[in-house]
Amino acid sequence: MDSEPLSTRATGQDDDLVKRLTELRLFFSSRTFTKDEYRYMKIVLSKINVDIIGDLPLEMVRQISQLLDLHEFVLCLAVSKPWRSRLLSSAVLRTITDRFCPSLTHSSNQYDPVVFLDALHRIGRSRWGCFQAALAKEFSWEHESYFKLDPMCHDNNHNVSAVYAQFGHYHDDPEPYDQAYTNALYSHGRIAWLAKPRVVVVDNLWTRTRKIFNRPTGPLSGPKLQILALGDRLVVGTVHGLIVAWDHVTNMYLEKRLPSPVKYATTEGLRVAMVLFNGDTFLWNFSSRLLMLATGPLKQSLGLDEQQLKSWVSNLRVFFHPTCGGTLLLASGYTDPRPGDSRAVLKRIVYEFKDMNHTDTLTFEVPTSIQKHDSPANIKVDIQKVLPYRRDIIGFCERQYRPLAQRVTPYKYDNFVEFDIYERQFRARTGEEFDPEEFGWRKPLEDADLDFQVKFYCNGFSVVSYRPGFEFGIGE
């Protein structure tokens, strides 16, 4: 606890005042107040001549900051120098950063106000759409002029046409593949897409460089490759029961054979977590062995019938914990038609695995508007980790209809449920009007972080940057 403001303000005062101030500080540091209690204190304090931020104990200022949205916090910084100094104290700044960017406070061993403020600025710019620069362009192949071939990946070959010709063995492939946007992904300032049905391109927005990948024996033969995940180190794809991955930093390639096709995958660092169509879940440490999570007991413990189990398997997703390297989170959902009740109940579940061992199960129930005769067991649940300006939250949405193959239409959602990874608690937003931007929900063919926002469209993409001073360098 920061006791400096107390000792400074109490200097020259009698012992009774010091005792009262100490008791007041202990009172506010030992509990959390409700909004009604804060409202009553505000009424009381408004009747006396006191600076509600500058003169109150720091612990009370810290608790007040927990009730402020980010834009309200920014406005308070501009009120006066005493307010700004108080709100930017280490205790308050840690509190406000932990609320909006818990991954930073949980992973940082040392307090760095510059880093914390930079994170808050980036969150604010992304939430309010305050972009610094913009770029819109088509996916292009051998006639690309914006992204230059990465010299380390392509051996400093100055013959650009010869490099692209190495990947042109299949003359019947479109140039570029006209459905590339449907399989494109964004992550950490990079865009991965299929230039041809069996050739992967990774374009770097930071350096304006391009890397082209295929299997060491040549372009993938047979069915089209599907890109499943893109991270800060790996781009991951699949074809049949084969999982393939390229380290887009070192340009290393590896592949693994799986017992059945991959439905979903995510990657972080040199790790890949994947869910197969049969519900089996694997963890692959790049250049190491493949490990299987024990999901069989999870299925049995639920006591589901055939349709419910099918829904549970279909909705299963896996996530890496943002700061705990050995922790995986499995999330799923299904609909439970309760006996004797005309309406079904939506079940949302998160399983926690530490070092491949199942350690905890967290469940949540929310009522639904559908009747039992509407075949609720077949309802699709969209599960994803929301955008970073909305904390580290896994969102669950009951999908009423989905985009068509050739025409992307808005999602219509009902019963939005959040799971806070750090607080390990669910929260339902039943009956609220769903605003994807407010909840940080990724729309179809869109993705973002605190640096860029990318939107994919037919044969192209648009991107905006939230980084001050960053320019795309168009026309250079």
pLDDT > 80? residue 224? no
* Number of domains the chain contains: 2
User: Residue 405: its pLDDT value, please?
Assistant: 43
User: Residue 63: its pLDDT value, please?
Assistant: 85
The band of 130, judged by pLDDT with boundaries at 50, 70 and 90, is confident
pTM for the model = 0.81
User: Residue 6: its pLDDT value, please?
Assistant: 41
Strand partners, 266: 273
Instruction: Give the residue from 69, 100, 128 where a domain finishes.
Output: 128
Strand partners, 354: 327, 357
The parent domain of residue 64 ranges over 4-128
pLDDT > 90? residue 443? no
Residue 47, judged by CB atoms within 10 A of its CB (0-12, 13-18, 19+), counts as exposed
Does some domain include residue 380?
Answer: yes
Average pLDDT over residues 133-150: 89
The band of 422, judged by pLDDT with boundaries at 50, 70 and 90, is very high
How would you write the chain as a 3-class SS string? Answer: CCCHHHHHHHCCCCHHHHHHHHHHHHHHHCCCCCHHHHHHHHHHHHCCCCCCCCCCCHHHHHHHHCCCCHHHHHHHHCCCHHHHHHHCCHHHHHHHHHHHCHHHHHHCCCCCHHHHHHHHHHHHHHHHCCCCEEEEEECCCCCCCCCEECCCCCCCCCCHHHHHHCCCCCCCCCCCCCCHHHHCEEECCEEEEEEECCEEEEEECCCCEEEEECECCECCCCCCCEEEEECCCEEEEEECCEEEEEECCCCCEEEEECCCCEEEEEEECCEEEEEECCCCEEEEECCCCEEEECCHHHHHHHCCCHHHHHHHHHHCEEEECCCCCCEEEEEEEEEECCCCCCEEEEEEEEEEEECCEEEEEEEEEEEEEEEHHHCHHHCCEEEEECCHHHCCEEEEEEEEECCCCCCCCCCEEEEEEEEECCCCEEEEECCCCCCHHHHCCCCCCEEECCCEEEEEECCEEEEEECCCCCCCCCCC
Does some domain include residue 469?
Answer: no
User: Residue 214: its pLDDT value, please?
Assistant: 85
The total of other beta-carbon atoms located within 10 Å of residue 415's CB is 22
Does some domain include residue 218?
Answer: no
pLDDT > 50? residue 204? yes
Instruction: Give the residue from 128, 148, 166 where a domain finishes.
Output: 128
Does some domain include residue 313?
Answer: yes
Q: Six-digit token pair at 262?
A: 């991959």
Does some domain include residue 273?
Answer: no
Instruction: List the CATH number of the domain containing 100.
Output: 1.20.1280
Q: What type of residue sits at position 320?
A: F
User: Residue 357: its pLDDT value, please?
Assistant: 92
Selected residue with higher pLDDT from 13 and 145 = 145
User: Residue 397: its pLDDT value, please?
Assistant: 84
Instruction: Give the residue from 67, 96, 128 where a domain finishes.
Output: 128
What would the pLDDT profile of 337-392 be if each residue is shown by its tens digit?
766 666 778 899 999 999 899 999 999 998 776 554 455 445 678 899 988 877 88
User: Residue 5: its pLDDT value, please?
Assistant: 43
The band of 45, judged by pLDDT with boundaries at 50, 70 and 90, is low
Among the residue ranges 188-202, 252-266, 357-371, the one predicted with the least confidence is 357-371
User: Residue 406: its pLDDT value, please?
Assistant: 44
Dist. CA 151–CA 211, nearest whole Å: 9
Does some domain include residue 170?
Answer: no
The band of 251, judged by pLDDT with boundaries at 50, 70 and 90, is very high
- What are residue 349's phi and psi, to 5 degrees? -135, 140
Selected residue with higher pLDDT from 227 and 403 = 227
Selected residue with higher pLDDT from 44 and 116 = 116
Query: Mean pLDDT, the chain, as a whole number?
Result: 81
Among the residue ranges 210-214, 230-234, 467-471, the one predicted with the least confidence is 467-471
